[in-house]
Amino acid sequence: MEKNYGEERFILERIRRKYFREIAEKERWIILWLIVILILVNIVSVVTIYNLSKQLESCQQHNTELQATIEDQHNLLMNTSVLVEELNQYIYDLTQSRTQLEQKYNSLVDAVNYYQHRQELYNKYEYALFYEGERTDIEYEHLATLDEIARINGYSPEVVYLTLALVMTESHGIANAKNPESSASGLGQLIYSTAKFSYEDLLGFGSGTYKKEYAYDPELNLRMTLAYVNYLSKQKKGDPIGVVDAYRGLHSTGYINSVAEKLDSAGLELKALQLY
C-alpha cells in the first residue's frame, strides 16, 4: 500500500508539474502576444499622432493663410470704404461746383438780359437827349450829368428824364435855389431830412456824414435827387404819378401837370413812363 501511495504521489507530482509547465507556457505566449499587441498599439498610436500632428500643422497653416486672407479682405474693405467716402465727397464737391456754376451762369444771364433791356430803353429814349424842343442849355447840362450818373449806377432812362423834369419844376435848374418856407435847397429842392437820407443811406456815405452845404453842389445834389427818385420808383412799383406825388409830399394836379409839361417838351409822356 505504501508503495502504491508513493507511486501515486510521484505520478501526481509529474502531472502537477506538467500542468504547471503548460500553464507557464500559455502565460508566456499570452504575455508575448500582449507585448506584440502593445507594440502594435504603440506603433498605430505613433502613426496616428504623427498624422494628427501633420493635419494640425496643415490646419494651422491653413488657418494662418485664412487669417491673412481675412485681414487682406478687411484692409480692402477699409480702403474701399475710404474710396467710397472720397468719391461721395468728390460728388458733393462737383454738385456744389455745378450749383455755383449754375448760379453764376444764371446771374450772368440775368445781367446780360438786364443790360440788353437797359440798352433797349436807352435806344428807345435816346432821341430825348437830342430832342429839338423847348429844352434850354441848362437842361441839357443837367441831363448830361444825370445821364452819366445813371449809366454808372444802373438807373433807367425814364428815371433820368423824370428826375430832370422834377428838377426843372422845383428849381428851374438853379443850383443855389432855396425855399424860404422850408429846408428845401438846391436843384432838386430836397428838404434836409430827405437829402440826409439820400446821401447817407441811398448813396451809402454813412450816418452823420451829410452837411447842409452839400445841397448846393450841383452834381452832388443831382446824385441825391436821382437816387431818391429811383428809390421812390421802387416804392411805388414804377407808377410815375405815384412817384411825383411822393416826391411832392402830397397830391397836386397842378404840380403833376407842370412835371408832365417838362416831359412833353422833350417828347415824353408822364403816364407812359415805365420806371424800373
Number of domains into which the chain is organized: 2
36-56 pLDDT, tens digit per residue, is: 888 888 888 888 888 888 888
Q: Does residue 116 sit within a domain?
A: no
Report which of residues 134 and 264 the model is more confident about.
Answer: 264
Can you give the CATH number for the domain in which 214 is found?
A: 1.10.530.10
Q: Does residue 14 sit within a domain?
A: yes
Least Cα distance to 242 among 213, 270, 202 occurs for 270
Report which of residues 118 and 211 the model is more confident about.
Answer: 211
Give the side-chain half-sphere CA count within 13 A for 90. 6
Q: Does residue 82 sit within a domain?
A: yes
167-200 pLDDT, tens digit per residue, is: 999 998 898 999 999 999 999 999 999 999 999 9
pLDDT mean over 138-152: 81
CA distance 276 to 262: 20
Q: Does residue 121 sit within a domain?
A: no
68-112 pLDDT, tens digit per residue, is: 888 888 888 888 888 888 888 888 888 888 888 888 888 888 777
Range of the domain at 52: 1-107
Same domain, 16 and 148: no
| Residue 223 grid cell | 446824385
pTM: 0.55
Same domain, 10 and 49: yes
Report which of residues 240 and 2 the model is more confident about.
Answer: 240
Residue 19 has pLDDT above 80, yes or no: no
Query: Is 163 within 8 Å of 180 (Cβ atoms)?
Result: no
